[in-house]
Amino acid sequence: MESQKKYQPTFSFELFPPKTETGMEKMKSTVRRLSTLNPRFFSVTYGAGGSTRDKTLDTVTWLRAQQLDTAPHISCIGSSREHIRELLERYQQEGIKRIVALRGDMPSGMGGGGDFRYANELVDFIRSVTGDHFHIEVAAYPEFHPQAPDAMADLVNFKRKIDAGANGAITQYFYNPDGYYRFVDSCEQLNLEIPIVPGIMPINNYTQLGRFSDACGAEIPRWIRRRLQGFADDIESIRAFGIDVVTELCQKLLDQGAPGLHFYTMNQSGPSQTIWKNLGLSAR
Ligand code: FAD
């Protein structure tokens, strides 16, 4: 973890582009609350194959109009070079300086194709088209990507993204900090000189968390699973327990030198805001 201590910690929030007007209004009020905490940036997800293109653009434009630092995600699978080039131009015009570059997962029913196979190719393309304009973040997987043949292959593939020009990484969420420490140590051994910011998923809803975790390969430790199951429909207890567990996780990570935290807000302000305040981040 030593190499991570030299970076200025970055605290940020992730949003998804709402599909409806009501969802948009809810997201706006979430952003208004969270922006009082002075995060470094808000990131906005992007559905693979361009499935949320317009909604992502609308959300990014609104955030920029609020003078907030915004980091759009771009997922490249199923997209053409031309399509990505247009997006990059649009983001440059909007004054965007940071991008989260991903492969993405094709939604079921949408065909494959496109000019990119992996995120390292997207990073390479962004650098070739826009030089050093963007600060590029990529995804990291302390518990390893579910499609990776083995841990070492995944680390080597992660290195390809850094070699292509990524400046930093945000991890998939996890609840076991040891996996993150070990991942960062392996990156140090590969001489990867970038901040690797833990992605933090607050716990609000057991069923939803279980579904996400199965899909993305994030492990919910048995003791957390069993406690959450025990609360059944008692939402208040789930939230209180979740805040406690996730605050403790974040504190451990920061104490060990993690270079910031990136909260998967799910467009809700409450849990991220409480954890942020518990950690005293506003005062930093
Ligand atoms: P890659 O880095 O390309 O890796 C994908 C798999 O391919 C891995 O198993 C890797 O080991 C392997 N691999 C990589 N490069 C090579 C290579 N050159 N040769 C052979 N194998 C290779 N998804 C979205 O659709 N939209 C989003 O906005 C979004 N935001 C995210 C934000 C974060 C912080 C994270 C952690 C994930 C996000 N995702 C998003 C999910 C992500 O798109 C999926 O996890 C996807 O399956 C992998 O994307 P990646 O960029 O990590 O892919």
pLDDT tens sequence across 209-259: 999 999 999 999 999 999 999 999 999 999 999 999 999 999 999 999 999
CA 73 to chain centre: 9
pLDDT at 20: 95
Ligand 1 atom nearest to CA at 137: 34
* List of residues 6+ apart from 74 with CB closer than 8 A: 46, 84, 87, 88, 99, 100, 101, 102, 122, 126
Q: Is the CB of 239 under 6 A from ligand 1?
A: no
Locate all alpha helices (DSSP H) within the chain, ordered by sequence: 21-35, 53-65, 81-93, 119-130, 151-163, 177-189, 206-216, 222-231, 235-255, 270-278
Measured torsion, CA atoms of residues 134, 152, 181, 185, in degrees rounded to the nearest 10: -80
pLDDT of residue 55: 95
pLDDT for the residue numbered 111:
63
Residue type, 90: R
At 57 the pLDDT is: 95
**Do residues 140 and 183 touch, judged by C-beta distance below 8 A?**
yes
The dihedral over CA atoms of 127, 182, 244, 260, expressed in degrees to the nearest 10, equals -30
In this prediction, residue 65 carries a pLDDT of 96
Q: Is the CB of 118 under 6 A from ligand 1?
A: yes
Query: Is 145 a pocket residue for ligand 1 (Cβ < 6 Å)?
Result: yes
Ligand 1 neighbourhood includes 55 CB (under 6 angstroms):
no
Q: Please identify every residue annotated as catalytic.
A: 14
Record the pTM. 0.97
| Mutate which of 118, 174, 214 for ligand 1 pocket (most atoms within 8 A of beta carbon) | 118
203's enclosing H/E stretch is: none
Ligand 1: which residue has its CA nearest to atom 32?
139
> String of b and e for 43-75 (b: at least 16 CB within 10 Å)?
bbbbbbbbbbbebbbebbebbbeeebbbbbbbb
In angstroms, what is the span from residue 244 Cα to ligand 1's centroid? Answer: 30
β partners of residue 261: 11
pLDDT at site 49? 80
pLDDT of residue 27: 98
Domains and CATH numbers, the chain: 7-283 (3.20.20.220)
Which residue ranges of the chain lie beneath pLDDT 70? Answer: 107-112, 282-284
